Amino acid sequence: VLRPGIVHRLDKDTSGVMIAAKTEVAHANLTSMFAAHDLDRRYQTLVWGTVIDRDGTVDAPLGHSNFNRKKQAVTSKGRHAITHWHALRSYPPFATLLECRLETGRTHQIRVHLAHIGRSIIGDPLYGRPLRAGQMPDVTARSCLTQLRSFGRQALHAAHLGFAHPVTGEALCFTSPLPDDMKILIQIMDDAIVTRATGKI
């Protein structure tokens, strides 16, 4: 009654797929699915730097930070949290496009886990660790970096959500393409990479 249809949430400024329940039965069953992590949730995100490995898993408990209560952190006293990631494409030396699959669903899980392994999300105001101009090899790369650093939100997108229908049990799958602002980031990096490759610096 107080929150009609709300089953789960996305972090502020994260784009993508969400579920809203239309009946009380659907709401109760969907809430149980989320609590049991009985869904297929995949996110796409642009992280700083070039990821060498093709796949990986972060298995690290999450809880409130001891230094900032608005932030989550990897802590031995935290709750069990697992994020699987797969590198979709690299944009050296700037970033990598990852697909992340959640095995658990903790607050800020993807953002904290990726920052924990040194691959924070572009534009993340809480956990971001942007590359520095001094790490860029030339003026073209530095110009591209300036544009990436000005991105106004965390580049994180809920791209895929699969689950059983809460009443009929039918297998359902919903997807959402990358939003325009993340596509623009990718185009900026592609243009910079081509410019550097052709020597037009």
Query: Which residues belong to the active site?
Result: 11
Helix, strand, coil percent values for the chain (each to nearest 5)? 25, 30, 45
Q: Which residues neighbour 178 within 8 Å (Cβ) at sequence distance 6 or greater?
A: 44, 157, 159, 186
**Cα 164 off chain centre by:** 23
CA atoms within 13 A on the CB side of 48: 27
Q: Are 138 and 92 in contact (CB under 8 A)?
A: no
Peptide bond into 93 cis (omega under 30): yes
- Name the token pair of 51: 């990821």
Q: Is 67 helix (H, G, I), strand (E, B) or coil?
A: coil
Distance CA 81, CA 135 (A): 32
